[in-house]
């Protein structure tokens, strides 16, 4: 028999979802069989797979230990620097530098932003993986490796659930700064495109017509400044939709690619002046209309800015 006490960060989950997080090597079919045969109980009573767990619940599991191997491979936690733009007991907003992955992908297993945040919280004593059944600090949004700026992380499960809901309901305004080639006419407006993702080449392609393989993308922009020789424009950008490479693909399509972008334009001359990747920064987040959120309502009205990006020197 194995006992598991449900803590704060485990509560609010379905039983089956909790078990798949806790025991990554447990076959789904076996898990449902154990629940059905009352080999997994909650508070010594018959459980259902969709039962919502509550803090203080006691799970009892009657099954051989080898079915519940928790020794799945763990990433090496690094101790790289976390540039913190805002932090409280529930969330941390990091100001990520260009070149750093937000989390690991199939090709990269090295240093990432979430690794750094996890190590930082362990060192502060705010997170102890040995005391957690299913939760680890998690990112609520992501930006590309070579985009700099703000990324939101949740320190606990209630904050993660609420922040994901806040973002889903568009109760957060995110503003990007970008340097693009040339002067855009009109200086303010919207770009509306159909984007098709090409996962093999890690790019998106603009399509003339909507199809089942495309996603509609809307990008609002406002010209803030124009360089003295009119080679570059500084833009404030708001994403009405959030598509892969949306900003980069949109401005390249209208003939004004981002400075330094070698994926959607030729950046040979940009590299010569020191811009080896896109001049793009997730610069500002403002929380709007989230007063009624049980855990994060206090964030309503808060604006957090990243440090000023280097490409502002072009203006």
Indicate which CATH number applies to the domain containing 19: 3.10.290.10
pLDDT above 70: percentage of residues in the chain: 94
Residue 167's pLDDT band, with cuts at 50, 70 and 90, is: very high
Residue 65: the pLDDT is 74
* Residue 74 domain flag: no
266, pLDDT greater than 70: yes
Residue 22: the pLDDT is 85
- Our count of domains for the chain comes to 2
Query: How far, in Å, are 17, 51, 143 from residue 173 at the CA level?
Result: 31, 35, 15
Residue 126's pLDDT band, with cuts at 50, 70 and 90, is: very high
Q: Residue 226's beta-bridge partner residues?
A: 233
Last residue of a domain, one of 68, 102, 126: 68
* Residue 98 domain flag: no
Which one of 70-79, 130-139, 257-266 scores highest in mean pLDDT?
257-266
* Residue 134 domain flag: no
Closest CA to 53 of 67, 41, 70, 64: 41
Annotated catalytic, 66? no
* Residue 117 domain flag: no
Residue 70: the pLDDT is 57
- Contact assessment for residue 218 and residue 192, using Cβ atoms and an 8 Å cutoff: yes
Residue that the structure tokens 């240093």 belong to: 111
Give me the mean pLDDT over the 210-215 stretch.
94
Catalytic residue among 57, 95, 115, 144: 144
How far apart are the C-alpha atoms of 279 and 263, rounded to whole Å?
13
Tokens of residue 309, six digits:
């990006």
Mean model confidence pLDDT for the chain = 92
Which one of 40-54, 67-81, 120-134, 180-194 scores highest in mean pLDDT?
180-194
Give me the mean pLDDT over the 138-166 stretch.
96
Residue 301 C-beta-side C-alpha neighbours within 13 Å: 3
3-state DSSP of the chain = CEEEECCCCCCCCEHHHHHHHHCCCCCHHHHHHHHHCCCEEECCEECCCCCECCCCCEEEECCCHHHHCCCCCCCCCCCCCCCEEEECCCEEEEEECCCCECCCCCCCCCCEHHHHHHHHHHHHCCCCHHHCCCCCCEECCCCCCCCEEEEEEECCHHHHHHHHHHHHCCCEEEEEEEEEECCCCCCEEEEEEEEEEECCCCEEEEECCCCCCEEEEEEEEEEEEECCCCCEEEEEEEECCCCCCHHHHHHHHCCCCECCCCCCCCCHHHHHCCCCCCCEEEEEEEECCCCCCCCCHHHCCCEEECCCCHHHHHC
Residue 146's pLDDT band, with cuts at 50, 70 and 90, is: very high
237, pLDDT greater than 90: yes
- Contact assessment for residue 284 and residue 305, using Cβ atoms and an 8 Å cutoff: yes
Last residue of a domain, one of 17, 41, 68: 68
Instruction: Sort strands 188-198 and 172-181 into parallel, antiparallel or unpaired.
Output: unpaired
Tokens of residue 50, six digits:
């969709």
More confident residue, 197 or 28: 197
Residue 176: the pLDDT is 98
- Contact assessment for residue 311 and residue 275, using Cβ atoms and an 8 Å cutoff: yes
Which residues span the domain enclosing 53? Answer: 2-68
Other beta carbons within 10 Å of 169: 11
* Residue 278 domain flag: yes
Last residue of a domain, one of 68, 97, 121: 68
- The distance between the two most distant Cα atoms of the chain, rounded to a whole number of Å, is 75
> Could you give the angle at which helices 28-36 and 15-22 cross, rounded to 10 degrees?
130
* Residue 312 domain flag: no
Residue 132's pLDDT band, with cuts at 50, 70 and 90, is: confident
pLDDT digits (tens, 9 = 90+) for 74-106: 555 676 899 999 999 999 999 999 999 998 865
* Residue 219 domain flag: yes
Q: Please give the model's pTM, rounded to 2 decimal places.
A: 0.85
Indicate which CATH number applies to the domain containing 238: 3.30.2350.10
More confident residue, 66 or 208: 208
* Residue 268 domain flag: yes
């Amino acid at each position: 028999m194995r006992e598991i006490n449900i803590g704060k960060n485990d509560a609010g989950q379905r039983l089956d979802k909790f078990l798949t997080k806790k025991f990554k090597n447990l076959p789904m079919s076996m898990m449902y069989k154990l629940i059905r045969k009352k080999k997994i109980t909650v508070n010594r009573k018959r459980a259902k797979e969709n039962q919502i767990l509550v803090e203080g619940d006691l799970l009892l599991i009657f099954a051989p230990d080898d079915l519940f191997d928790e020794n799945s491979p763990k990433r090496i936690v690094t101790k790289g620097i976390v540039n913190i733009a805002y932090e409280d007991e529930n969330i941390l907003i990091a100001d990520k530098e260009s070149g750093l992955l937000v989390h690991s992908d199939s090709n990269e297993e090295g240093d990432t932003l979430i690794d750094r945040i996890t190590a930082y919280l362990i060192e502060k004593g705010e997170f102890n993986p040995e005391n957690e059944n299913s939760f680890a600090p998690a990112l609520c949004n992501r930006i590309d490796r070579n985009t700099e700026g703000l990324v939101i992380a949740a320190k606990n499960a209630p904050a993660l659930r609420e922040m994901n809901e806040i973002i889903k309901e568009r109760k957060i305004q995110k503003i990007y700064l970008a340097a693009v080639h040339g002067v855009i006419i009109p200086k303010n407006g919207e770009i509306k495109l159909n984007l098709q993702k090409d996962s093999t080449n890690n790019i998106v392609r603009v399509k003339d017509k909507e199809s089942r393989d495309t996603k509609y993308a809307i990008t609002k922009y406002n010209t803030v400044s124009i360089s003295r020789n009119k080679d570059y424009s500084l833009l404030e950008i708001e994403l009405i939709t959030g598509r892969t490479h949306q900003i980069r693909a949109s401005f390249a399509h209208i003939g004004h690619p981002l400075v330094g972008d070698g994926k959607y334009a030729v950046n040979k001359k940009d590299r010569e002046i020191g811009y080896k990747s896109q001049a793009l920064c997730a610069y500002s987040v403002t929380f709007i209309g989230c007063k009624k959120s049980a855990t994060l309502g206090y964030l309503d009205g808060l604006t957090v800015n990243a440090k000023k990006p280097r490409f502002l020197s072009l203006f």
